[in-house]
Structure 1
Amino acid sequence: MSINATLIIQMIVFAILVWFTMKFVWPPITTALDERAKKIADGLSAADKAKTELAAANKRVEAQLSAARDDANKRLADAERLAQQMIEEAKGRASEEAAKIIAAARAEAEQESVKAREALREQVAGLAVKGAEAILRKEVNASVHADLLGRLKAEL
């Protein structure tokens, strides 16, 4: 009997232990496990959300980088076009300046030519007067001399 009584007492103690565990120990463990599962689920959803936000942020960054590259290329093209325009304007001004210098040089050459002609005319006139004086000293014939002076004047 002692085995039977011990076995029954052990069964009663075990039942009390099971009841005590189910009533006082098991609910806090279950609550702690549920809270931990909830925290893990929240962490995973936060990680997924962060991953999605990171992908969206990467897309925005790529879009901004692309826009910045396009803007830089546009500014570079504008700067090159402006530089080309400035070069063309400088060439035009240089061409105009060269034309002015050439025109001034031609005008100066023309003036020098006119001055040289005038000096030559004066010298020829002086020689003509000397020739006339020489002729007049040798003989004085008014009609011949007038004819001669008229031809000289026409040649000058």
Structure 2
Amino acid sequence: MSITGTLIVQMIVFLILVWFTMKFVWPPITAALDDRAKKIAEGLSAADKAKSELAVANQRVEQQLSAARDDAAKRLADAERLAQQMIEEAKSRASDEGAKIVAAAKAEAEQESVKAREALREQVAVLAVKGAEAILKREVNAGVHADLLNRLKTEL
């Protein structure tokens, strides 16, 4: 066999190999590559979609956190206002109670003062009678002179 015959046979075998590869081997390989490219594209689009959903979720979380912070600040301010109001009410009640106690003490002191004056008048009247008795060197009858002693008490 000569080189030309060998070359022709080799070309025929090569063409059969190319045809066989193009007919039976190449289509599954291209289909697998296309499927893989499609899956990669879907994965990338899903990742982009997940990124955008994550950004939206982060915005919602930030909004909810901001709302929660605002709510907490409002509740804290309300609690402080309520505490201040309760303190003011307690001060007012304590002031009123103090004023009542002072008024009661003043009234009691006035009553004690009146009682002390009455007791002092009684003692002065008794002393006056004893002094008059001593001056007159005779006995003064308290029953007989009761009217005179009562006038003396009122004058004192």
Q: TM-score, normalised by structure 1?
A: 0.82
Q: 1:67/1:154 Cα in 2 relative to 1: closer, same or farther (>3 Å)?
A: closer
One-letter code of the match for 1:48? D
In the alignment, structure 1 segments of 5+ residues that lack a partner are: 139-147
**Map of 1:50 onto structure 2:** 50
2:18 aligned with 1:32: no
Q: 1:93/1:112 Cα in 2 relative to 1: closer, same or farther (>3 Å)?
A: same
**Map of 1:10 onto structure 2:** 10
**Map of 2:75 onto structure 1:** 75
Q: Deviations over 1:89-127 (max 9, x none)?
A: 111111111111111110111001100111122223323
Pairs within 5 Å for 1:2-151: 2-130=2-130, 133=133
Distance 1:149 1:12 in 2: 166
How far 1:88 moved relative to its partner? 0.8
Q: Deviations over 1:52-96 (max 9, x none)?
A: 111111111111111111111111111111111111111111111
How far 1:131 moved relative to its partner? 5.2
How far 1:137 moved relative to its partner? 6.4
Distance 1:149 1:102 in 2: 37
Q: Deviations over 1:1-55 (max 9, x none)?
A: 7111111111111111111111101100010000000010011011101111111
In the alignment, structure 2 segments of 5+ residues that lack a partner are: 139-147
Distance 2:124 2:57 in 1: 98
Distance 2:39 2:150 in 1: 131
One-letter code of the match for 1:121? R
* Structure 1 residue matching 2:75: 3-state secondary structure: helix
User: Share of identical aligned residues, percent?
Assistant: 85
Q: 1:11/1:151 Cα in 2 relative to 1: closer, same or farther (>3 Å)?
A: closer
Q: TM-score, normalised by structure 2?
A: 0.82
Superposed CA RMSD in Å reads 2.5
Aligned length: 148
Larger proportion of helix: 1
